Structure 1
Amino acid sequence: MWSVWLSVASLLIVIATHWLYRWRNPKCSEKLPPGSMGFPLIGETLGLLASSKSIDTPPFIKNRMKKYGPLFRTSLAGRPVVVSSDPEFNYYVFQQEGKLVERWYMDSFAKILHQGSQDAARINAHKNVHKYLRNVILGHFGPEALKDKMLPQLEDAINKRLHGWSKLPSLEVKSSTSAMIFDFTAKQLFSFQADKSKEDICESFTNFLQGLLSFPINIPGTAYHRCLQNQKKAISIITSELEERKSNPEIRKGDFLDQILSDMKTETFLTDKFVIYMMFGLLFASFETISSTLTLAIMLINENPKVIQELTEEHEGILQNREDVNSGLIWKEYKSMTFTHKVINESLRLASVAPGILRRTLQDIQVNGYTIPKGWALMVVPAALQLNPSTYEDPLTFNPWRWQNISANVSAKNFIPFGAGMTWCAGAEFSKVLMGVFFHILVTKYRMTTIKEGEVIRSPALGFGDGFHIQFSAKRG
């Protein structure tokens, strides 16, 4: 018996050792990028998710860049991933969307958006799907829509919100800006009126990012479980609105959902399920990223009197050049906000809200003597590019004036807050216009007083610790 058990134990040890070796040394006929695959199954995920009290590139990424260079391999949530901070390679890959790489999401994100492997394959098989989505989003949130319709709506919504804030002794900026942006976006998407709803679905969205970046384990008490529970509330409201519109086709509200309902008659991929989760994804993507960047911008502006002074001079000049000082912002005025656009760019550069932009390789890719195997994930880290001291002098310093001397070629490859290439974010201009309008109203009508300083934290997404509290008070005269 002892010999049998010894043989079994020896066999198990051999199998485990072989499996561990194969895990740490993935099969590839060519030379893989340097790096480590970490522990079996979980890889190096815990290192990536570790928080740091700095606006700088997350330590997980920064330390491995120092050790391995701009290209390294790792494993995240059991998936082999190559992380790239090489601007030339990233730029090339983004131009090869659909040829060398395709969109890909971490398992937790894919499940939350109901884009499993079969769904993703079906959607990617229809090359016109992404083109359709991009066009319909641009039609409602792009430059023409902003110029002709949305600019005065944004100004009115922000005016009302800031007026309400000015009556409060203080407020937490991130949660307040999140609610402001969420309410406006939800209204544009499906005419949702937060003040008339019994459910606070904005609150249901606020903690999603941590769930998206967690292991997809649906057990009570986990971040992913809480994420799914909150999601159900939001999905329920979106589903109810879709069902009501389909039951009453005479209802026309002129919003994004109206357009989708009309197109559902001709576009076969626009199923109820697809539409519901698409709306869900658009809501999350819009309010979370913009609110984080806007909160950081307010924090940085409030710490820099020279920036406030130049912003104020620029926007007071816009008011002085109007025939009617009480008339609303027009597109020409927005485009004339030269310094404001520098402030927006600098805020976007420092915020680097997206922890990483993920793609999956469709074929083996050769780069710098290494091979990235077909089927592996590729993660481009915006912070590694936008906070690179080789590109930006004193990269952690808030300096809007630096944008006077940054060429278009440098920014194209080293400034990607909205992605790049064919999948460049269709809502980019909406984000910048919202921030521009907010700054216009803020510096011409209000003053800010810090009540509680915020603490910037990357985990790896951008956060603000225990909160950043400000008092907004109306200017007199």
Structure 2
Amino acid sequence: MYYILVKMTWVVGSWVLIGIFVSGFCLYKVMKKNKEEKQRKNGIPRGSSGWPFLGETLDFIACGYSSRPVSFMEKRANLYGKVFRTHILGKAIIVSTDPDVNKVVLQNHGNAFIPHYPKSISELLGKYSILHINGPLQKRLHALIGGFLRSPQFKAEITRNIEKSVQHVFSSWMENQDRRIYIQLESKKIAFEVMVRTLMSIGPGEDLNFLRREFEEYSKGLISLPIKLPGTRLYKSLKAKGRMLKVVRSIIEQRKMAMEENQGKGFSIKDVTDVLLRDTFESSDETQPRLPLDSISENIIEMMIPGEETVPTALTLAVKFLSDSPVVLARLVEENKELTRQKAKSGDEYNWTDYVSLPFTQNVISETLRMANIVNAVWREAVKDVKIKGHLIPKGWCVLASFSSLHMDEENYENPYEFNPCRWKKTGASINSNTFTPFGGGQRLCPGIELSRIEIAIFLHHLVTTYRWVAEDDDITYFPFVRMKRKLPITITPIVGGTMEER
């Protein structure tokens, strides 16, 4: 009898718990539905908040690891429209795959949006990060750096420096007996050297090698758990940053002393460090916002990111796409061989204009950037209620402006998953296009656009005129960063009479 009572109590208790759970779940669904209905009436885009706490994060990450990461966006855009609401990575956000909405977000008229990044990135970049600062100071720094990178003197100097970096790395390939190299690793050597030279005029040597090692350790923590306990990824990255800061601060201190000694005698600007220092010390207009001296070192380190991440990835994927497209590669080879013949005939040195005047090469670069989607989106936070095309983005909400969705949308590009540089023959590599945004847009359009493109052009020119290669099978991964799973191994064969042998 006692056993029967216990059994009945257990059964009743189980059903009560199930009832409570079901009732709670139903109540949650009703409240959620009512909340969503209220949001829709207010103009907040349709969408789903997903599971409690988790939201739709698991699906977002799973799509990121797949061969088609934009499927997360595509699925919801088909259900709710090109602007929709979701909940990922612990945040309620509005996602835009609409080029017109993205343009408004990027232009940011009236300072309606401020940058928003994961805590690990904010921690590593610091308070005065170029990615974080807003308003007049951001505009001023953007203009100063962009102006320097577009100057004729810089273009002439950096063209020679990129050529030297490419030739130095390429010449080391012949030391491999099996002639097997990993493009992803080799492209980082080139791009990081070019970037550090642009920022601080540091060439090959002990300092460059040190910065390369430490920056690789530093960059691993950009997407990590925001925990700074000893042994954690973020902690290790912060320590690596501290070691780099000692080197960079020493260089800046030397430059500062030289600048103070030369006051009134003129001071030649040779890199970004000089640009930032001169703006800090030489300007007499106290009404203009200034970057604090102590933060220049951190900004220099932050600006190394393209040399470690974005540009090397573009170089690697260009080789990947060309390896998979022999017809495109043959046409690229012929165009660059013709440039080589012209230069051999005239005896003139290569210059910036020579590389950017290769139309098909530039189309290959544009198509690589479109398909690579290295920077797949930007995050912004609304500082006030904003209405765009009838959609309300409430104050405090994040908006994710998706670039990859625009690049892979059939409405914008025919057969978007096909590598087809000829599609750019009519449209050209217009950086003002709302549907082509590999470098962002608006007030925060990357000031290094032209530098990135010339670097890729020089790399491709010397590669296709110096070597033939056979690439091994490799796949692209898209989360948390765009990468090749096996670093894209290729086996090279020198071309007799190729570019490198002629010089």
- Shorter-chain TM-score: what band? 0.7 to 0.9
Could you give the per-residue CA deviations for residues 426-473 of structure 1, whole angstroms, max 9, x where no partner exists? 0001000001111111111222222x3221011143111132112333
1:95 maps to which of 103, 107, 118: 107
Is residue 405 of structure 1 aligned with residue 413 of structure 2?
no
**The one of 267, 273, 286 aligned to 1:257:** 273
Gaps of at least 5 residues in structure 2 are 1-19, 498-503
Q: Which moved more, 1:401-410 or 1:256-265?
A: 401-410
The 3 A distance-change label for structure 1 pair 80 and 403 is same
Q: How does 1:377-392 map to 2 (within 5 A)?
A: 377-392=398-413
| Structure-2 separation of matches of 1:33 and 1:209 | 35
**Which residue is 1:243 aligned to?**
253
Q: 1:245 to 1:410 in 2, by over 3 A?
A: closer
1:186 Cα deviation after fit: 0.7
Q: Quick one: which amino acid aligns to residue 95 of structure 1?
A: Q
User: More deviation in 267-276 or 432-441?
Assistant: 267-276
Q: CA deviation at 1:166?
A: 3.4
- Superposition map of 1:1-150 within 5 A: 25=35, 30-38=42-50, 43-50=55-62, 52=64, 54=66, 56-115=68-127, 123-124=133-134, 127-142=135-150, 144-150=152-158
Taking the aligned partners of 1:338 and 1:99, their CA distance within structure 2 comes to 38
Query: Partners of 1:441 and 1:306 in 2: how far apart?
Result: 19
How far apart are residue 193 of structure 1 and its match? 3.7
| Equivalences for residues 295-310 of structure 1 within 5 A | 295-310=316-331
Bigger Cα Rg: 2
CA deviation digits over 1:142-173, x for unaligned, max 9?
26345332212212221222122233232221
Q: Pick closer, same or farther for the CA change 1:334–1:437 going to 2, 3 Å.
A: same
Partner residue in 2 for 1:475: 495
Map of 1:204 onto structure 2: 214
2:163 corresponds in structure 1 to 155
The structure 1 residue matched to 2:377, chosen from 337, 341, 356, is 356
Q: Does 1:231 align with 2:241?
A: yes
Distance between the aligned counterparts of 1:314 and 1:193, measured in 2?
A: 31
Structure 1 distance, partners of 2:55, 2:221, is: 18
- Normalising by structure 1, report the TM-score: 0.85
- Residue 131 of structure 1 and its aligned partner are, at CA, apart by 2.2
Contact 1:110–1:116 at 8 Å: present in 2 too? Answer: no
Q: CA 1:47/1:245 → structure 2, altered by over 3 Å: closer, same or farther? A: farther
Q: Which moved more, 1:146-155 or 1:52-61?
A: 52-61
Stretch moving more, 436-445 or 100-109: 100-109
RMSD between aligned residues: 3.4
Cα 1:107/1:45, change in 2 over 3 Å: farther
In the aligned structure 2, how far is the partner of 1:409 from the partner of 1:158? Answer: 27
Per-residue CA shift, 1:297-321, capped at 9, x if unaligned? 0111122221221112111211222
Match of 1:185 among 192, 195, 211: 195
Residue 321 in structure 1 maps to residue 342 in structure 2: yes
Alpha-carbon distance between aligned partners in 2 of 1:74 and 1:280, rounded to the nearest angstrom: 34
| Residues paired across the two proteins, number | 458
The change in CA–CA distance for 1:230 and 1:320 in structure 2 (over 3 A counts) is same
User: 1:279 aligned to 2:300?
Assistant: yes
Distance in 1 of aligned mates of 2:359 and 2:84: 39
Contact 2:125/2:298, CA 8 A, preserved across alignment: yes
Cα deviation for residue 390 of structure 1 reads 2.0
Deviation at 1:400, TM superposition (A): 0.7
Partner residue, 1:5: none
Residue in 2 that maps onto 1:447:
468
SS in 1 for 2:413: coil
Equivalents in 2 of 1:60, 1:264: separation in Å? 45
Q: Which amino acid aligns with 1:157?
A: S
Q: Alpha-carbon deviation of 1:399? A: 0.8
* Other structure's SS at 2:452 match: helix
CA contact under 8 A between 2:366 and 2:429: conserved in structure 1? no
Of structures 1 and 2, the one with the larger relative CO (CA 8 A, separation 6+) is 1
Report the Cα distance in structure 2 between the residues aligned to 1:49 and 1:298, rounded to whole angstroms: 27
User: Residues 70 and 85 of structure 1 are in contact (CA less than 8 Å); yes or no, is this contact kept in structure 2?
Assistant: yes
What displacement does 1:200 show? 3.3
* 1:167 corresponds to: 175
Name the CA shift for 1:415/1:143 in 2 (closer, same or farther; >3 Å).
farther
Q: 1:97 to 1:239 in 2, by over 3 A?
A: farther
Kindly provide the CA deviation profile for residues 328-352 of structure 1, in whole angstroms up to 9, marking residues without a partner as x. 3123322320100100000000011
Moved more, 132-141 or 32-41: 32-41
Asked whether the equivalents of residues 155 and 329 of structure 1 are also in contact (C-alpha less than 8 Å), the reply is no
Taking the aligned partners of 1:83 and 1:145, their CA distance within structure 2 comes to 42
Paired with 2:430 and 2:155, the residues of 1 have a C-alpha distance of 27
Q: Give, in angstroms, the shift of residue 248 of structure 1.
A: 5.6
Gaps in structure 1 of 5+ consecutive residues? 1-9
Q: 2:478 aligns with which of 458, 463, 466?
A: 458
What SS class does the counterpart of residue 72 from structure 2 fall into? helix
The superposition leaves residues 412-431 of structure 1 with CA deviations (integer Å, 9 ceiling, x where unpaired) of 11110011122211000100
Q: Does 1:215 align with 2:225?
A: yes
What secondary structure, in the 3-state scheme, does the structure 2 residue paired with 1:472 have?
strand
Letter in 2 for 1:188: T
Please state whether the residue corresponding to 1:212 is helix, strand or coil.
Answer: coil
Distance (Å, rounded) in 2 between the aligned partners of 1:205 and 1:21: 48
Cα contact 1:363–1:375 (8 A) shared by 2: yes
Task: Confirm or deny: 8 A CA contact 1:34 1:68 kept in the other structure.
Answer: yes
Aligned in 2, Cα 1:108/1:61: closer, same or farther, shift over 3 Å?
Answer: farther
Structure 1 window deviating more from structure 2 (67-76 vs 412-421): it is 67-76
Q: Secondary structure at the match of 1:405?
A: helix
The alpha-carbon deviation at position 112 of structure 1 amounts to: 1.3
